Amino acid sequence: EGVIRVLPKPVDVSALLSLLADGVTRQRPVLIMDDDAAFLRSLSDVLRVRGFETIVATSLDDALNHMARRRPVAVLLHVQIDTPVGRDAVVAVHEVSPAVALILYSGRGDAADEIGRSIPRDWVHAYLRKPFAVDQVTGILDAIHYKR
């Protein structure tokens, strides 16, 4: 429930400082869900190079199973919001983990407006339009990790 490690007394100060330094780094993974395996692999590889642990999922069931086991800090979800499947995916992710930072992305120009009409605003942390710069994603993820 949040305990990282128990240190025996007397506390080894260098071990404590190392543990604290690790605590401010990225502890929880980022889950990426996309049905495009090549894009999923590319985005995951780039985020790993930038220091983020990633989990990949190609289906909603796979994503929900990972969420239950690993408790990601953020979920990047490719969504076609105008389809029932897209809305259902957002609802399912929110139900499993209401506090997760949900970052939606789509290639459609009007998807952000549709998301705003279809989904409560406080469910979505950010929206990105494909193609997006990796720095956009890492900036959002850095801010999320810093706050949590």
pLDDT tens column, 103-138: 999 888 777 787 778 788 899 999 999 899 999 999
Report the mean per-residue pLDDT for the chain.
85
The span from the CA of 16 to the CA of 143, in Å, is: 25
Residue 94: what pLDDT?
94
Residue 29: what pLDDT?
93
| pTM for the model | 0.78
Residue 1: what pLDDT?
39
Do 91 and 60 form a contact (C-beta atoms < 8 A)? Answer: no
Of 65, 56, 117, 55, the C-alpha closest to 86 is 117
- Output the DSSP codes for 7-64: -PSSP-HHHHHHHHHHHTS--S-EEEE-S-HHHHHHHHHHHHHTT--EEEESSHHHHH
pLDDT tens column, 70-97: 889 999 999 876 566 678 889 999 999 9
Do 74 and 48 form a contact (C-beta atoms < 8 A)? Answer: no
Our measurement of the distance from residue 47's CA atom to the centroid of its chain's CA atoms, rounded to an integer in Å, reads 11
